[in-house]
Structure 1
């Protein structure tokens, strides 16, 4: 084991995120940071391209991981000074390895690689190319990293097909899941929502942004409610509010289902919330492999989701019959109703998905695979540098 860990032991590994709040990419990165710090002996640090503390920085404090935030604005008038501030914030950490996550950190670190002072830059692809394109600035950025890690096959294909990156430089490491014990039980969660034990409850755990397409799920929910029930079902939407929540409330009101849609905001006790559900739904337009879906699978829930590569990769053959086209509320409602009204099928699906996530999406596998890739790339960069120095 000592030989495996040696390349990164004592090295300064800096994780660069878009904010100090918590989303799927940040959660994945933080889990890897804990592994590298605890099991490998790396000196880890987090830099957020936002000054506002959030759930990510709070977790860093709990875990003893130093963090810092820097004011960053993507708008054209302030982009250049923001870019310089971000590079300086990372450079001050004197990194040996920089791991960037999501679009803006990936682009910033790639464009400014020569000024970061790092020996290794790793671009982490957390989706299937959302908000990226084949324009010259993006293609230029994609030539800078020393290696790429994608959490899905779709993300890998995007990088190779769009930017011509050699296949051997792009590795796939699926997200890993490790569920903690629920803090409160099923009944307590339902009491918070004002929902009895007889009421069917479907939930989605994802930050409330336009890319998750909660609109389609709420439109689907109006059709679910109309299917006829002894106890009208309730939809619970959990996740950080990123500006779409008022529009979602207005939509639910216009459809006459406000009382049957609960927007509960960010939740720390995700395992507890999931145990209070009967079924999980996920309406996103673009993903890598979403943590929310994997966590639902690990909780033994059936999943109805959009038929995009990342979700299809997550649920596999066991769950693909319950995937629907993006934006198709009618089809999503049909799948939800079918599973809510067929408990044996719902339980069989949940058990099959639980077994799949345990076999293919373990936290240990994610961390060990990432460590192996980063260590190998780091040694490769050191070898190249030595060859250049020796002439």
Structure 2
């Protein structure tokens, strides 16, 4: 049996932004004839995402599981995502290791972990950062390659008076700030709704918060969704409240759909949404001002149409999947040389 040319390693049993990135890039590579193996990700979701392709998938929820799988392979490149995957790859892979840095922080939060981090940094052949924001905050030299999404045809569905938040309901994503901005905007009293797609540990707390802020009737918690593209095709605005988001793949997906985006100023948002002159980047530390900016955009349909079109054009030019994947392939070629 012919082995894989590229092995992607992500030592989780989840399917969030990193795992979605891995499945998207792996499918692109498979479409172009590369033999790909993916280790890790949600055992229920990842095989579904890769169905109908030639990609081999195997479970690897820990670095030890990934290491056992890697010992039996001889790929041209191992592409590791997050520290546990990097450790498995460096210890066992008989191939150059490329690491994508998905988070704006150095390896290791304790002294032992930082020691491991220094060991990994010396042994990784090349490093890709998903944004300049990330590259500036991690150790080592990085090639900045903004993750891309497929270019889509123009939207035909009617947009609804809905502000959509699509993200995990965990503290770092700042959905609580999103609720405060929503309450300050007053849009709930003017026929708009806030739809929150995603699941996480904070959902009960956020539901209570919505009622306490007096906007419970205009906020809908949609739970985990596999049809985010459908939600984006009809949403009036996408709201990404976090101001230090490392990148924000859902923002780029919204751009591909031509959805106007309101995003917290800073982080990767400055490189994606902020790449167009019409960008609506709101102060993450001032919910009142952010609410006014959100409401002003919602109240101006012509402005929303222009802004959405500008974002879609920017995605096609700078944040397409082909552009990102070609940059990754260039890194592979360099480490193989």
Flag whether TM exceeds 0.5 (same fold): yes
- In the other structure, the counterpart of 1:178 is 150
Aligned partners of 1:140, 1:42: CA distance in 2, in Å? 30
Shift of 1:99: 0.8
Cα distance in 2 for partners of 1:262, 1:248 equals 11
Tell me, yes or no, if structure 1 residue 328 matches structure 2 residue 250. Answer: no
1:23 aligned partner: 16
1:252-296 per-residue CA deviation (whole Å, 9 max, x = no partner) reads 122222221111123222222112211111012533321111111
Correspondence for 2:30 = 37
The alpha-carbon deviation at position 10 of structure 1 amounts to 6.8
Q: SS at the partner of 2:172?
A: helix
Displacement of 1:309 in angstroms is 2.5
Q: How many matched pairs?
A: 333
- Write the distance in 2 (CA, Å) between the matches of 1:20 and 1:371: 26
Q: Secondary structure at the match of 2:263?
A: strand
Q: CA deviation at 1:358?
A: 0.9
Secondary structure class of the residue paired with 2:137:
helix
Would you tell me which structure has more helix in proportion to its own residues?
Answer: 1
Q: After superposition, give the CA deviation of every residue in 1:195-253 in whole Å (9 maximum; x if it has no partner).
A: xx5xx210022222222110000111111237852x2x2101113x1322112112112
Q: CA deviation at 1:70?
A: 3.2
Q: Are positions 1:262 and 2:220 aligned together?
A: yes
Match of 1:223 among 179, 184, 194: 184
SS in 2 for 1:305: strand
Mark the runs of 5 or more structure 1 residues left unpaired by the alignment: 1-8, 73-82, 188-196, 380-391
| Residues 1:147 and 2:126 aligned together | yes
Cα offset, 1:122, TM superposition? 0.7
For the residue of structure 2 that corresponds to 1:137, the secondary structure is helix
CA RMSD in angstroms comes to 2.8
* SS at structure 2 position matched to 1:304: strand
Shift in alpha-carbon separation, 1:227–1:13, aligned structure 2, 3 A = closer
Corresponding position of 2:93: 117
2:187, 2:51 → 1: CA distance?
47
Summarize deviations over 1:26-84 as a string: whole Å, max 9, x none.
22222221232231x33211111x6x523222112332422121343xxxxxxxxxx43
| Runs (5+) with no aligned partner, structure 2 | none
Structure 1 residues 177 and 223 mapped into 2: Cα distance closer, same or farther (>3 Å)? same
Q: Which of 1 and 2 has greater Rg?
A: 1
The answer to whether the aligner puts 1:314 opposite 2:272 as a matched pair is: yes
| C-alpha contact (below 8 Å) 2:274/2:281 kept by paired residues | no
Secondary structure at the counterpart of residue 9 of structure 2: strand
Matched, 1:204 2:162: no
Distance across 1 between alignment mates of 2:61 and 2:328: 29
1:267 and 1:71, CA in 2 relative to 1: closer, same or farther beyond 3 A?
Answer: closer
**Structure-2 residue corresponding to 1:46:** 38
TM-score by length of 2: 0.88
